[in-house]
Chain A
């Protein structure tokens, strides 16, 4: 029965570039090896017409479901997609316009419909191509095999179905979605150097061609800037990762050029207080906090009261939004300190507080909601980083806050999520990330 099946499958395979007679497959494994060898030879040496690649595709399609070995199956799948690529190229010549496709070609196009799309449907040079997401899909599907890297590289090299027509934002997004995505998956992959070369050419050739020497925020509208900023940060991340893992001079030169061109973007500007060096691995990170205005809490209440009055005057005159955010944060810290030694009634009768300030208070503390509102109000300003850190670390008035002893493990974990977790969620690239991580590490260390 098995022999009959093999003969049947062998009879389905049409010979083209290789001669079967001397090495006819005698088992299913032989048959697979033979079909793969033939496909590799055709693809490598670009032998045959499009009908040969159509046949390779049909042959592999019939065999693949029966291949059990993952590595071999991935190899066959890879060749099957390459056969589509080569077959399409030969079938379409320089474009579909004016081309007459023979019936076997039409039937094949229908059979491979889920793998392809018509690139540039309105262009005279429109053509069918493999959908890039198909390569990525197989990259994930065969992630445990050595071919995952090859699928990813094909995906990165496949042209995306749109033209950027000289638009920098679009070109950066394209680079990020292709070579950036490849490097993110395989920073030390077989093709990492090629991916870096593409990015390097973009930085030193394409960016100047587009009329830029370096990129500045003021050259773009806020919406466009947000899009560009996101893609550049993501791309920068993968270049740093590749450089860290490869440690070769070429990756470092790509990184240096990226920082030269896009330095304004990647430089961390998320905070305004001179507190912490984000890059520092200094274990004494807490010491940085004493250099911030958070230390008002460690001062006598009289100092907080004097500062409160001074800040109220400054607030009325300040136009700069970031500065205003910082003043309002400092006011709330002063208020917290004043409440530690005076009642609200005392502060009202002494004309330190006005009636409107009472809405910021709950019991003996500044309301947690007041800090959250402040963060929302200044969320687009650098100072939002400092507000976030203060509000997640100073939980005097948050309901349900309790000590870290004698409570359940799930409560401890919830509190960690509400403090350090919340900060990391609000500002994953913030200046206080190292401190938060150190706090976490100390808690469970």
Chain B
């Protein structure tokens, strides 16, 4: 178990090799994509999706804990 600052900005621990974070992250991504499609004129929907993409790039354990 490793502790460190994660992309959520919250102190949390990340278990290397734990796939469930990625699974949950992918689930959230689907909701945000649908939400953005359904709310084209809502800037915050696009912004949330962009921020999510930022999270995704940090989803590998070694980068996650930088």
Contacts and interface: CB of A to CB of B under 8 A. Distances in A.
Contacts of B7: 444
A281 B28 contact: no
Contacts of B34: 424-425, 428
A410 B20 CA distance: 6
A236 to B, nearest CB: 9
Interface in A208-258: 237, 240-241, 244
A408 B31 contact: no
Interface in A388-427: 404-414, 416-417, 421, 424-425
B39 A413 contact: no
A414 B38 contact: no
A441 interface: yes
B66 interface: no
Interface stretch (A30-38, A82-90, A113-121, A430-438): A430-438
A443 interface: yes
Contacts, number: 106
Nearest to B10: A404
Interface residues of B, number: 36
Interface residues of A, number: 34
B61 to A, nearest CB: 10
B45 A433 contact: yes
A414 B38 CA distance: 23
Contact of A410 (B24, B42, B47, B51): B24
Contacts of B47: 437, 441
Contacts of A437: 35, 42, 44-45, 47-48
B11 A405 contact: yes
Contacts of A424: 31-32, 34-35
Contact of B12 (A278, A412, A421): A412
Given A408-B14, A409-B13, A428-B35, A241 B40 contact: yes
B12 A406 contact: yes
A434 B44 contact: yes
Contacts of A240: 40-41
Contact of A409 (B21, B32, B38, B44): B21
Interface of B: 6-15, 18, 20-21, 23-25, 27-28, 31-32, 34-35, 37-45, 47-48, 51, 55, 64
